[in-house]
């Protein structure tokens, strides 16, 4: 940070970015704020309502349930994807043609449109014609994700692990390849066990990329909409209705703009707050 030159004209270089992002972020956000304090009966008639919608949302059981499901979902997929991704990255070859083969194949799920991911897992898990569903059922396990909430959750989590673990692998792999060979040689001379190498050499070096991985996975899993919508539609019942799905149901399904807008703002603030907590916790003790 020290070598940078003080130069206010740098603002000119940033201006196009600020203009474009502000156009896309500030105007819609103001629209949302505007709706969140008003009541409408159609015909573009609006009445000021103050904080009524915010109080209603914060006290509604429906929001609490959706938030709990969301936290549970994000917690589970972080607990699976981060250790699994690091484990796979550690086991990957360091050089040779297999590195490219692995990276290309592993990156594939990341580039499939999200609704196709949902549709793909839908036909993969269908109990009568899907490979997964049929196999489980012929093994004697009663599995039907369109009827059983537990099966729906397992399928949803398997889908997310399938979809996003590769991101953690790519990041962790990049972090690992940045460790100089000299570190490993020194460890070998000291006779360090492979656990010690991981704990005292690899893990500290991975801290930075893991911060990015956890943050990205946290944000994106909290925003997840398309994949569960296509896979389960939020069902059975409301079993897999995560925050985004509930929000779209209220906003576009019931066209309750006020409550939907208030919920959007609360939702966004939760993400901001938790991201900041994650970031602060993971970079604690690091001097900037």
Partner 1 sequence: MQSASRIRFKWLVPTLYVIFLMLPIYWLLNMSFKTTNEILGGFSLYPQSFTFENYRTIFTDPTWYNGYINSLIYVCLNTVISVAVALPAAYAFSRYRFLGDKHLFFWLLTNRMAPAAVFALPFFQLYSAIGLFDTHLAVALAHCLFNIPLAVWILEGFMSGVPKELDETAFIDGYGFWRFFVKIFLPTIAAGIGVAAFFCFMFSWVELLLAKTLTSVAAKPIAATMTRTASTSGYELGLLAAAGALTIVPGALVIFFVRNYIAKGFALGRV
Tell me which residues in 201-230 interact with partner 1 (CB under 8 A).
208-209, 211-213, 215-216, 219, 222-223, 225-226, 230
Contact between residue 118 and residue 230 where contact means Cβ atoms under 8 Å apart: yes
Contact mark string toward partner 1, 9..38, x via CB under 8 A? xxx-xx-xxx-xx-xxx-xxx-xx------
Q: Distance between CA 221 and CA 122 in Å, rounded?
A: 19
Q: Is 83 exposed, middle or buried (0-12, 13-18, 19+ CB in 10 A)?
A: exposed
In whole angstroms, the minimum distance from the beta carbon of 82 to partner 1 comes to: 14
Of 105, 88, 109, 87, the C-alpha closest to 97 is 105
Residues with Cβ within 8 Å of residue 76, at least 6 apart in sequence? 157
Nearer to partner 1, 64 or 94 (CB): 94
CB atoms within 10 A of CB 42: 6
Residue owning tokens 């703002």? 265
Which residues ranging from 40 to 59 are in contact with partner 1 (CB under 8 A)? none
Q: Which of 155, 165, 202, 221 binds partner 1 (CB under 8 A)?
A: 165
How many residues belong to the site for partner 1 (CB under 8 A)? 98
In whole angstroms, the minimum distance from the beta carbon of 239 to partner 1 comes to: 19
Q: What is the DSSP letter of 108?
A: G
Q: Which stretch binds partner 1 (CB under 8 A): 57-65, 71-79, 143-151, 171-179?
A: 171-179
In whole angstroms, the minimum distance from the beta carbon of 194 to partner 1 comes to: 6
162: contact with partner 1 by CB under 8 A: yes
Question: Which contacts (CB < 8 Å, 24+ apart) does range 233-239 have?
Answer: 235/146, 235/152, 236/146, 236/147, 236/148, 236/149, 236/152, 237/149, 238/65, 239/69, 239/149, 239/152, 239/153
Structure tokens at 21: 């992002």
Q: Which of 111, 139, 189, 280 binds partner 1 (CB under 8 A)?
A: 111
Q: Which of 76, 92, 157, 179 binds partner 1 (CB under 8 A)?
A: 92
Which residues ranging from 118 to 147 are in contact with partner 1 (CB under 8 A)? 119-121, 123-124, 128-132, 134
Which H helix or E strand runs over 39?
strand 38-40
In whole angstroms, the minimum distance from the beta carbon of 50 to partner 1 comes to: 21
In whole angstroms, the minimum distance from the beta carbon of 10 to partner 1 comes to: 4
In whole angstroms, the minimum distance from the beta carbon of 109 to partner 1 comes to: 6
Q: What is the DSSP letter of 283?
A: T
Which residues ranging from 185 to 204 are in contact with partner 1 (CB under 8 A)? 194
């Amino acid at each position: 940070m020290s070598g940078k030159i003080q130069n206010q004209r740098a603002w000119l270089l940033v201006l196009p970015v600020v203009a474009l992002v502000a156009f896309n972020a500030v105007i819609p956000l103001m629209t949302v704020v505007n709706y969140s304090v008003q009541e409408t009966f159609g015909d573009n008639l609006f009445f000021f309502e103050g904080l009524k919608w915010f109080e209603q949302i914060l006290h509604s059981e429906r929001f609490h349930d959706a938030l709990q499901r969301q936290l549970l979902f994000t917690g589970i997929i972080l607990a699976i994807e981060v250790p699994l991704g690091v484990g796979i990255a550690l086991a990957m070859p360091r050089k040779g043609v297999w590195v490219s083969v692995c990276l290309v194949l592993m990156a594939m799920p990341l580039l499939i449109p999200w609704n196709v991911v949902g549709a793909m897992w839908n036909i993969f898990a269908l109990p009568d014609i899907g490979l997964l569903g049929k196999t489980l059922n012929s093994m004697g396990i009663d599995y039907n994700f369109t009827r059983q909430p537990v099966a729906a959750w397992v399928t949803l989590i398997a889908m997310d692990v399938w979809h996003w673990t590769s991101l953690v692998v790519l990041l962790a792999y990049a972090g690992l390849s940045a460790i100089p060979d000299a570190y490993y040689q020194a460890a070998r001379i000291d006779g360090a066990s492979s656990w010690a190498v991981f704990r005292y050499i690899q893990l500290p070096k991975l801290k930075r990329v893991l911060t990015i991985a956890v943050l990205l996975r946290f944000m994106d899993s909290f925003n997840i909409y398309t994949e569960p919508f296509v896979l389960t539609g939020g069902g059975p019942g409301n079993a897999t209705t995560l925050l985004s799905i509930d929000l779209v149901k209220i906003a576009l399904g019931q066209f309750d703009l006020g409550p939907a807008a208030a919920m959007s703002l609360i939702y966004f603030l939760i993400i901001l707050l938790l991201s900041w907590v994650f970031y602060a916790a993971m970079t604690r003790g690091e001097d900037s």
